[in-house]
């Protein structure tokens, strides 16, 4: 009987040695993939947070602009109605350099509405009519411009335009309009 031992010698086939898996490369690949996914998630969360902060800032700026419009209307309402209906003073204020006003001779038209502005006020200081543009700083500078339009039936339409440099870049604008009648 033959022994169950392995044949030895040069004529015996050699069994291939068992190789252990080379997992060093794949472990590194797993770490790189995991780190990449983690980076993508962190960047997405960071972008979302930054965008929500910008959106909140824009909303806050619009809220400030609306408050400035309300305050300007309240200041105009406190004036005597005859002064309000007299409107702006073209000799004191440089109305022709206002980008919201179109000048044709002695007629001043608000570009936004196409309406003729009341411009017979002779007072040299009567806020918010003279000067009709004021800068209010509330963290950032807001330009508040007031435009009274004398209309039929003794009504005065007051248009207030607030502009500022937006958190999104560029110039932002909020417009308010109200009508007032003689008491």
Contacts of 136 (CB under 8 A, 6+ apart): 68, 142, 144
Asked whether the predicted pLDDT for residue 83 surpasses 70, the reply is yes
Q: Work out whether strand 140-150 and strand 155-165 pair parallel, antiparallel, or are unpaired.
A: antiparallel
Asked whether the predicted pLDDT for residue 51 surpasses 90, the reply is no
Predicted pLDDT of residue 177? 95
Confidence band (pLDDT; 50, 70, 90) for 19? low
- Greater pLDDT, 4 or 131: 131
Predicted pLDDT of residue 29? 84
Mean predicted confidence (pLDDT) in 9-16: 61
CA-CA distance, 146 to 160, in Å (whole number)?
Answer: 5
Asked whether the predicted pLDDT for residue 21 surpasses 80, the reply is no
Confidence band (pLDDT; 50, 70, 90) for 88? very high
Integer CA distances (angstroms), 147 to 29, 46, 47, 51, 68, in order: 67, 43, 41, 35, 14
pLDDT averaged over every residue in the chain: 86
Predicted pLDDT of residue 16? 61
């Amino acid at each position: 009987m033959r022994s169950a031992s392995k044949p030895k010698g040069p004529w015996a086939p050699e069994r291939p040695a068992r190789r252990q898996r080379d997992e060093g490369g794949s472990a590194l690949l797993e770490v790189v993939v995991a780190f990449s996914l983690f980076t993508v998630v962190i960047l997405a969360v960071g972008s979302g947070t930054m965008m929500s902060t910008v959106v909140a800032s824009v909303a806050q700026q619009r809220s400030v602009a609306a408050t400035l419009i309300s305050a300007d209307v309240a200041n105009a309402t406190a004036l005597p109605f005859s002064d309000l209906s007299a409107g702006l003073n073209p000799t004191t204020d440089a109305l022709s350099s206002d980008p919201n006003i179109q000048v044709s001779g002695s007629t001043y038209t608000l570009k936004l509405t196409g309406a003729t502005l009341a411009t017979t006020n002779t007072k040299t200081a009567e806020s918010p009519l003279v000067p009709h543009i004021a800068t209010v700083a509330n963290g950032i500078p807001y330009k508040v411009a007031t435009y009274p339009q004398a209309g039929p039936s003794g009504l005065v339409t007051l248009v207030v335009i607030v502009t500022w440099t937006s958190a999104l870049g560029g110039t932002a604008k909020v417009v308010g309009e109200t009508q007032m009648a003689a008491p």
